[in-house]
Amino acid sequence: MTILRSLAVRTFSSARSLRALSPQLVEAPGTLSRAIGRDKALMQCNRMLTRSFCSTEAPGSKSQEVDLNRLDGENKGIVEVLMCRERARNSLGRVFVSQMRDLVSVLHHDSAVRVVVFRSMIPGVFCAGADLKERAQMTNAEAELFVYGLRSLMNEIAALPMPTIAAVDGFALGGGLELALACDLRTAAHTAQMGLIETTRGLLPGAGGSQRLPRAVGFAVAKELIFTGRRIGGEQALELGLVNRAVPQNQAGDAAHKEALGLAREILPQAPIAVRMAKEAMNRGIEVDIASGMAIEGMCYARVIPTRDRQEGMAAFIEKRPPRYTGE
């Protein structure tokens, strides 16, 4: 893990360096234009990043299928969950789920994290859903136990105290869409394909999809999508309320990720305790009647009153300056 995190810093730094150097690269003889050359260079860099993150740490060791990237500088407080099971298109196998669970547990107890972005390092795919080859080797009892654990993982992602964003730049099918639904917010490229396709495989959504999709798009639309197993693109997902933002895909194939980072940067300056309490109030309140929801809101509000951030917010307003929140 330590080795991979060091590699992450180096490779992301390399990506930034490539952007800076790309004009020189594309002015070489034989290139069509500066813009096209830059896009090709960025796409090549993305492939290099994927190979770096998705490589095996050492001969005979278990490959890293999920990792963390903690951003720094003006993006400090944003953490990316990097999904990089290249050969299986980020399908939800035993190792992938185990590593994801470990990282989610780490994030849950990290008060320095203000926003989490789930993204794929595999071009053209967010998460392809269940690992059907692995699932085919399981007994009925093993499959039932595994899906129970998968449902538990999605609940743990949904229960993260800070805002979470799924950046869907490609296919998010079955369990892949259920992972995105477990996040608070979703961004998607227009070319992304999303769907709960389990009924086409003789199954039904088993990791929260039958519950979270109706809450996102309404009962009638959710039933239509699940009954038919239909896939929809990013633009239609925006129209239905399945995603918060949809953008045209770019040459580098990371338009949804860029949009997710922009959204994360809008959240970053806000008071982190207040944001966490607002999330808790909404998540818990939506499950109960409005009178109980009001009581939950009151309890969450009471936890914000004694914070230094609240005092800082009032002082900044009076002094007509931007607030400097510390999460205390």
State in words which class domain 272-319 has.
mainly alpha
| pLDDT tens digits for range 266-280 | 999 999 999 999 999
Residues marked as catalytic = 130, 175, 178, 198
Give the CATH fold of the 54-267 domain.
2-enoyl-CoA Hydratase; Chain A, domain 1 (3.90.226)
| pLDDT tens digits for range 120-154 | 999 999 999 888 888 889 999 999 999 999 999 99
| pLDDT tens digits for range 169-195 | 999 999 999 999 999 999 999 999 999
| pLDDT tens digits for range 290-310 | 999 999 999 999 999 999 999
Longest dimension (CA), the chain: 70
Assess whether pLDDT exceeds 90 at residue 7: no
Q: Where are the domains of the chain?
A: 1-53, 54-267, 272-319
The torsion angles phi and psi of 57, rounded to 5 degrees, stand at -65, -45
* Structural element, H or E, at residue 266: helix 255-267
% of the chain with per-residue pLDDT over 70:
81
How far, in Å, CA of 188 to CA of 260, rounded? 9
More confident residue, 257 or 52: 257
| pLDDT tens digits for range 31-58 | 434 444 544 444 454 545 444 555 444 4
pLDDT reported for residue 305? 95
Given this chain, do its domains 54-267 and 272-319 carry the same CATH topology? no
The span from the first CA to the last CA of the chain, in angstroms, equals 30
How far, in Å, CA of 158 to CA of 153, rounded? 9
* Structural element, H or E, at residue 126: strand 125-127
Tell me the whole-structure pTM to 2 decimals: 0.83
Dihedral sign from CA coordinates of 259, 264, 266, 267? positive
